[in-house]
Structure 1
Amino acid sequence: MRYSSQIKPISYLKAHAAEVLATLSEGREPLVITQNGEAKAVLQDVASFEETQETLALLKVLALGHQDVAAGKLKPVADVVARLRAKRAAG
């Protein structure tokens, strides 16, 4: 994805807010907003934002799992399965 075509000054956002929001929802591409020639913010539609947050949460879970593996916090699969079967039988 090339962001260079999705860069607009803040004055454009102020003058075309409804159009910008419609474009964000339809195209699902983020829009970089500049102020005084510098990138200051990125706008994106809510669905894309939610997807990004879910992806970040999954990546965090993976990273935590990797840390556990690196620290040697492991249990044999047979032990875990036996514990789950015992819980199921007791419940």
Structure 2
Amino acid sequence: MRYSTRIKPISYFKANAAEILADLSEGAEPMILTQNGEAKAIVQDIRDYEKTQETLAMLKILALGMEDLRAGRVKPLEEVVARLKDRGQDENG
């Protein structure tokens, strides 16, 4: 992703907020906002933000699973399936 053309001072955002939000909703890349020449915030479409959050959640789940695997906190598939079948039979009579 190239953000070089999407870096603007906060004053630009204040003056053009409606246009920027419309551009974002139409698929424009996120915009980096600066204050006193320093990057301070990123403005992006809510759908893109939600996708990013979902991706991060999935990566966290994957990392936790890999941690469990390395620590030996796993069970063979056959054992899990057998336990689920036994549990289902206990509940059904």
TM-score (norm 1): 0.93
Equivalent residue, structure 2, for 1:82: 82
Equivalent residue, structure 2, for 1:72: 72
Could you tell me how far 1:28 is from its partner in structure 2?
4.3
Tell me which stretches of 4 or more aligned residues in structure 1 moved more than 6 Å: none
CA–CA separation in structure 1 for the residues paired with 2:27 and 2:83:
49
Give aligned pairs, total: 91
8 A contact 1:68–1:74 mirrored in 2? yes
CA–CA separation in structure 2 for the residues paired with 1:28 and 1:85:
51
Q: Which runs of 5+ in 1 are unaligned?
A: none
Identity of aligned residues (%): 62
Q: RMSD between aligned alpha carbons?
A: 1.1
CA–CA separation in structure 2 for the residues paired with 1:5 and 1:80:
53
Residues 23-34 of structure 1 mapped to structure 2, 5 A cutoff? 23-34=23-34
CA–CA separation in structure 1 for the residues paired with 2:76 and 2:28:
44
CA–CA separation in structure 2 for the residues paired with 1:49 and 1:28:
13
1:51-84 CA-to-partner distances (Å, cap 9, x unmatched) read 0111111001000001101111111111001011
8 A contact 1:25–1:45 mirrored in 2? yes
User: Secondary structure at the residue paired with 1:16?
Assistant: helix
